[in-house]
């Protein structure tokens, strides 16, 4: 019988694949960022946030703090990579989100599962990030495995069985068996980051589960994400294949404005196994980058009853406006 042996959650911010000396350049992009939501879920401008902060982050968004956070974050990623290697899994289910790397506005499923034999990564073209610092862009390409179109292994038979089980369980996921034939389509940073940084380029078969974290109007509710995770767990344990399975949440936590209160609420609920708090998270707080918290909620449903054996939280502020990311790292066993 298949068995879920490890659960992992990790942020995948570009700050994790770039030198901390470049974080200030990332902060410059925040000045005109269209997706800055405050702690109440209200869309704000950078200058509004900076005026309200009134110098609060002046001593926080510094290179010294960037260096310290980068050191802690890389140690956390090393920890998770070692845990994944030690678990000796046969397949990794990665719960992530597509950001117009594979899908488009022509078709943006709420939930999708890929059952193809090969995953092809998306190449980041210069035109996708106009005006971004070239050093930072190149770091993103390399750290996300998106500096070329690389082939990763899928697990077609197990993935098809997973999809069939989810449909019978009332979770109407989209089934993806192949990639769009255009040159640009491919799996994006949510999956490439896990391959590069946690799998360390080992060719362990991967099953991508895609959650629409970013794009209205069909973003799934927190409760529905949690239900999907529960159903994935049951599907794994009902499968007759002799497989050791890992499930990984890729993305989050709060960004592009760091919301420590929200992030602490999530980690407290994860520690206590408080599914009701997770399922009732206010949807207005899950906009823009914070929408990737949905990936964590899905994995939380899958690891229900397992022990949160280790976690690390790093609130990072990279500007005077409090923009940044709540970096989260976790392992369940």
The model's pLDDT over 152-176, given as tens digits with 9 standing for 90+, comes to 999 999 999 999 999 999 999 999 9
In this predicted structure, what is the pLDDT of residue 185? 84
Residues in Cβ contact with 206 at an 8 Å cutoff, skipping those fewer than 6 apart: 91, 92, 93, 94, 119, 152, 153, 154, 155, 191, 194, 195, 199
The string of pLDDT tens digits covering residues 249-266 is 999 999 999 999 999 999
In this predicted structure, what is the pLDDT of residue 130? 83
Residues in Cβ contact with 48 at an 8 Å cutoff, skipping those fewer than 6 apart: none
The string of pLDDT tens digits covering residues 274-323 is 999 999 999 999 999 999 999 999 999 999 999 999 999 999 999 999 99
DSSP for 81-111 reads HHHHHHHT-SEEEEEE--SSSS-BTTB--SE
- b/e sequence 184-203, b meaning 16+ C-beta within 10 Å: ebbbbbbbbbbbbbbbeeee
Q: Exposed (0-12), middle (13-18) or buried (19+): which is 107, by Cβ within 10 Å?
A: exposed
Q: Exposed (0-12), middle (13-18) or buried (19+): which is 332, by Cβ within 10 Å?
A: buried
The string of pLDDT tens digits covering residues 198-224 is 999 999 999 999 999 999 999 999 999
Q: Which residue has the higher pLDDT, 54 or 179?
A: 54
Please report the sign of the dihedral spanned by the C-alpha atoms of residue 253, residue 155, residue 220, residue 237.
negative
- Rounded average pLDDT over 111-127: 94
Mind listing the domains of the chain with CATH numbers?
Answer: 3-332 (3.40.830.10)
77/90 Cα distance (integer angstroms): 20
| Mean pLDDT of all residues belonging to the chain | 96
Residues in Cβ contact with 7 at an 8 Å cutoff, skipping those fewer than 6 apart: 246, 247, 248, 249, 299, 302, 303, 306, 330, 331, 332, 333
| Strands annotated E in 34-184 | 36-37, 43-44, 91-96, 111-114, 118-120, 151-153, 174-176
| Strands annotated E in the chain | 3-10, 36-37, 43-44, 91-96, 111-114, 118-120, 151-153, 174-176, 206-211, 244-250, 308-317, 324-332
In this predicted structure, what is the pLDDT of residue 128? 84
Tell me the percentage of the chain whose pLDDT exceeds 90.
93
pLDDT confidence tier of residue 133, bands split at 50, 70 and 90: confident
pTM of the shown model: 0.97
């Amino acid at each position: 019988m298949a068995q879920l042996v490890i659960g992992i959650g990790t942020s995948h911010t570009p700050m994790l694949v770039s030198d901390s000396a470049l974080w200030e350049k990332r902060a410059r992009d925040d000045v005109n960022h269209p997706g800055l939501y405050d702690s109440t879920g209200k869309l704000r401008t950078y200058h509004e946030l900076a005026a309200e902060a009134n110098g609060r982050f002046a001593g926080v968004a510094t290179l010294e703090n960037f260096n310290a956070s980068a050191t802690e974050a890389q140690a956390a990623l090393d920890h998770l990579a070692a845990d994944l290697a030690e678990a000796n899994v046969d397949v990794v289910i990665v719960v992530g989100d597509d950001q117009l790397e594979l899908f488009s506005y022509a078709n943006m499923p709420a939930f999708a599962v890929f059952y193809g034999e090969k995953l092809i990564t998306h190449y980041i073209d210069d035109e996708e990030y106009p005006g971004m610092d070239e050093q930072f862009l190149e770091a993103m390409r390399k750290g996300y495995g998106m500096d070329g179109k690389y082939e990763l292994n899928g697990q077609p038979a197990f993935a098809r069985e997973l999809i069939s089980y989810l449909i019978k369980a009332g979770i109407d996921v989209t089934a993806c068996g192949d990639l769009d034939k255009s040159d640009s389509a491919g799996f994006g940073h949510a999956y490439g980051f896990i391959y590069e940084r946690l799998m360390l380029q080992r060719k362990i078969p991967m099953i991508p589960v895609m959650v629409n974290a970013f794009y209205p109007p069909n973003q799934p509710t927190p409760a529905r994400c949690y239900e999907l995770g529960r159903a994935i767990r049951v599907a794994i344990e009902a499968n007759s294949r002799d497989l050791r399975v890992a499930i990984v949440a890729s993305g989050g936590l709060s960004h592009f404005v760091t919301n420590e209160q929200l992030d602490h609420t999530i980690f407290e609920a994860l520690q206590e196994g408080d599914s009701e708090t997770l399922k009732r998270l206010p949807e207005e707080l899950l906009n823009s980058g914070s929408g990737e918290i949905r990936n964590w909620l899905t994995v939380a449903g899958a690891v229900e009853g397992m022990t949160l054996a280790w976690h690390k939280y790093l609130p990072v502020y990279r500007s005077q406006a409090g923009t940044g990311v709540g970096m989260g790292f976790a392992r369940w066993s």
